[in-house]
Chain A
Amino acid sequence: MSVERSEEAAQARDTSGPLAPGGVELLISTLLRSGVVLSVALIGVGVTLSFFHNPERLTSRVDLTPLLSPEHGPSSLEAVLVLAREVRGQAFVMMGLLVMMAVPVLRVLIAFFSFRQQRDRAFVRMTSVVLTLLALSILLGRATD
């Protein structure tokens, strides 16, 4: 059983492993595709849920202003998770948006590991510089607010 499983794992590595020629491309393409599909699916579920909970929003001209107001959106991970537990539509939409925002950063991270595995020193250095700069600008943005 365990032998079979490790063989399966080895096969999976062979087909999608970053060592294969063109492997980085395939890996990144797969990450991007699954990331955006997951994000759009979460948004779809969230939008459907929020119309299911508020059916009057489908047909009647309710005031849009409160929906467009500053207090509408959760702005921390905790807030999103709390709302998700109550199966609130906007929490799922927010999760979808967060997945979308994380995809490009994950993409640099994956490239970094792939280049390291390929011992492509110049590109390992470049991707690590990009990751550091990304972290710095996010931290800086937080600090100045």
Chain B
Amino acid sequence: MTPFTFTALLFGLSLGAGALGAVLGIGGGLLLVPLLTLGFGVDIRFAVGASIVSVIATSSGAAAAYVRDRLANLRVAMFLEVGTAAGALTGALLATSLHGRWLFLLFGAVLAWSALAMLRRLGGGVEEPPAPDALADRLGLHGSYYDVAEQCEVPYRVTGTRAGLALMYVAGTVSGMLGIGAGALKVPALDLAMRLPVKVSTATSNFMIGVTAAASAGVYFARGDINPFIAGPVCAGATVGAMAGTRLLGRLHSRTVRALFVGVLLWVAIQMLRKGW
């Protein structure tokens, strides 16, 4: 393989990862890291370094459109970032004292459970309206977005703010310790606990994952784990892919997004459980 082919291949694959990440609200690190290490023989350090940059690229590339189209709920994101940032700090503090294996097992089990819970909501049926939430009212978290696929404005009310904040703290801690999987936990929390529409959940998760990843990225850079030959094409590819992916999310039906997310979530859960086994 010539260096040029290597660069072009990385760009192309990251393009796909970015597009998928933009639609599902996940960073795609869980897809990129094994691809880089197993497929291209990249050292795990540089693979993780490149994937952290790709998470930021996916997040910022997608969020530019989602924030403008009000698909990402800015106020919900800013509120929950308190939880994820605190969690990320906790995770960094705990990272050395806990065994990774148990974490993978626990994380895998939690993801598998959330995938099944989200699958149940896919079944449809009439849902009772979300319980009133005083904190959501006070902070003005409720919102609405224009659904391109349904061609109508969809208003929604936010509930379970405290549970959501707690879950974000857990998600932040896990991603701080494992360096991965931030979005895979955030979307179920937004969906199941806070009852956001699934498109708003993935768009808002997309917006949030960049901040958590940026905190770790500085550290990876200082350590010399960001290799421009690898991270460069990955970053550019993920950005362009994410920007293209945002056009897709609006047009997809909510059911399709949910089904796609559940599928990827189950796959990630199996990977995690296998790692911990």
Are B92 and A141 in contact, CB atoms less than 8 angstroms apart? yes
A3 contacts the other chain (CB 8 A)? no
> What's the dominant secondary structure at chain B's contact region?
helix
Decide yes or no: A57 and B4 within 8 Å by CB, A25-B68, A133-B89 being known contacts: yes
Q: Which residue of B lies closest to A77 (CB)?
A: B221
Which residues of chain B have C-beta atoms less than 8 A from A129's C-beta?
82, 85
B130 contacts the other chain (CB 8 A)? no
A22 to chain B, nearest CB (A): 8
Are B92 and A140 in contact, CB atoms less than 8 angstroms apart? yes
Residues of chain B from 206 to 235 with CB closer than 8 A to chain A in the complex: 210-211, 213-219, 221-224, 226-233, 235
A113 contacts the other chain (CB 8 A)? no
Q: Which residue of B lies closest to A105 (CB)?
A: B214
Q: Which residue of B lies closest to A89 (CB)?
A: B228
Which residues of chain A have C-beta atoms less than 8 A from B45's C-beta?
70
Which residues of chain B have C-beta atoms less than 8 A from A126's C-beta?
78-79, 81-82
Q: Which residue of A lies closest to B95 (CB)?
A: A144
B124 contacts the other chain (CB 8 A)? no
A66 to chain B, nearest CB (A): 10
A86 to chain B, nearest CB (A): 14
Q: Which residue of B lies closest to A22 (CB)?
A: B70
Q: Which residue of B lies closest to A32 (CB)?
A: B64
Which residues of chain B have C-beta atoms less than 8 A from A59's C-beta?
2, 4
Number of B interface residues in the complex (CB < 8 A): 65
B122 to chain A, nearest CB (A): 30
A-B CB pair tally, cutoff 8 Å: 202
Decide yes or no: A145 and B219 within 8 Å by CB, A103-B210, A137-B92, A140-B92 being known contacts: yes
Q: Which residue of B lies closest to A103 (CB)?
A: B60
Which residues of chain B have C-beta atoms less than 8 A from A36's C-beta?
57, 60-61, 64, 239, 243
Residues of chain B from 71 to 115 with CB closer than 8 A to chain A in the complex: 74-75, 78-79, 81-82, 85-86, 88-89, 92-93, 96
A145 to chain B, nearest CB (A): 6
Expressed in whole angstroms, the Cα–Cα distance for A72 and B243 within the complex equals 30
Residues of chain A from 23 to 68 with CB closer than 8 A to chain B in the complex: 24-26, 28-29, 32-33, 35-36, 39-40, 43-44, 46-47, 51, 54, 57-62, 64, 67-68
B266 contacts the other chain (CB 8 A)? no
Are B218 and A141 in contact, CB atoms less than 8 angstroms apart? yes
Q: Which residue of B lies closest to A145 (CB)?
A: B223
Are B2 and A60 in contact, CB atoms less than 8 angstroms apart? yes
Are B2 and A57 in contact, CB atoms less than 8 angstroms apart? yes
Which residues of chain A have C-beta atoms less than 8 A from B82's C-beta?
126, 129-130, 133
B6 contacts the other chain (CB 8 A)? yes
Q: Which residue of B lies closest to A76 (CB)?
A: B222
B167 contacts the other chain (CB 8 A)? no
Q: Which residue of B lies closest to A102 (CB)?
A: B214
B46 contacts the other chain (CB 8 A)? yes
Which residues of chain B have C-beta atoms less than 8 A from A24's C-beta?
74
A interface with B by C-beta (< 8 Å):
24-26, 28-29, 32-33, 35-36, 39-40, 43-44, 46-47, 51, 54, 57-62, 64, 67-68, 70, 72-76, 90, 93-94, 96-98, 100-105, 107-108, 111, 122-123, 126-127, 129-130, 133-134, 136-138, 140-142, 144-145
B interface with A by C-beta (< 8 Å):
1-4, 6-7, 41-43, 45-46, 53, 56-57, 59-61, 63-65, 67-68, 70, 74-75, 78-79, 81-82, 85-86, 88-89, 92-93, 96, 138-139, 176, 210-211, 213-219, 221-224, 226-233, 235-236, 239-240, 243
